[in-house]
Amino acid sequence: MRIKHTLCHWFSIAVIVALGSTAACGDDRPYDIVRGQVYVQRESGPLEADVYVPHGKGPFPAMLVVHGGAWASGTREQLAGAAEKLAENGYVAVAISYRLAPKYRFPAQIYDCQAAVRWLRTNAEKFTVDPNRIGGFGYSAGGHLVALLGVLSDDDFREDGVPAEAPSARLEVVLAGGAPCDFRSLPEKSTMLAYWLGGSPAEQPEVYKQASPATYVSADDPPMFFFHGTADELVPIRSPKRMVDELTGAGVKTEFFEVPDAGHMAAAINREALTHAVMFADHYLKSTSADGQ
């Protein structure tokens, strides 16, 4: 397990380098970055977000940006390049930190993502966001989290203490890369995810079910875009493909973009996949009305 976490650490660094700041600096940027915004207080301390706000009147569609790292490592800076790309294309990008395993096991991570969406809707006017046009972008563990966030209803997995009248945590579109989508088929005695899910599938079958986005597929799910490397040996491509089939069968608008001959790392930094993801989001979140661009 220690080796896997070390690999995830280096993976995070590599993604920062490959997708890191590519936009113009300073006053030439077409967006502002508001860093360190506290979106929820936890017993462990505040959780923060960096908000990339396009120049212009707005309101703009928004995109929650969720980093990967096997639910156990990574930072909100990991997908800074993706956040910048989104901001350049007229999205308020909200890159978040969230609680990490093994200290914080599932469902802490999805609760944090839900809290971030509710916070964004509460503060929509402050950040020139249209609260009815919020999507999610993530890769690897982050792809899993935005996929799960997309298929959950507000009543499926409500955190204790969140009132029924709280803003919705649902998304209007999902962009998920390298995403594991179903843990129910793992070998019963596998301890690969025990650090995060609290045991093997035999020991925690309900938790493995709850953590699987494929569990919740229904006709009212938002449009979902998946991208994945065809040579990914860390997250088999069949996992998101099966979910796409289930979503399509339920009548949900989906698209699957394959990155040829790419492993988990290479697909994460593929700019063509990111471009297609943004185009997919544009189709569902960009209206014909003026949005300040």
149-168: per-residue pLDDT in tens? 999 999 888 899 999 999 99
Assessment of whether the complete model's pTM goes beyond 0.85: yes
63-96: per-residue pLDDT in tens? 999 999 999 999 999 999 999 999 999 999 999 9
Structure tokens at 113: 């993502």
Domains of the chain: 2-285 (3.40.50.1820)
pLDDT of residue 27: 65
pLDDT of residue 14: 43
229-288: per-residue pLDDT in tens? 999 999 999 999 999 999 999 999 999 999 999 999 999 999 999 999 999 999 999 965
Tracing tokens 């994460």 back to the chain, one arrives at 268
What is the arithmetic mean of pLDDT over 171-191? 97
7-38: per-residue pLDDT in tens? 344 344 344 434 544 444 556 899 999 999 99
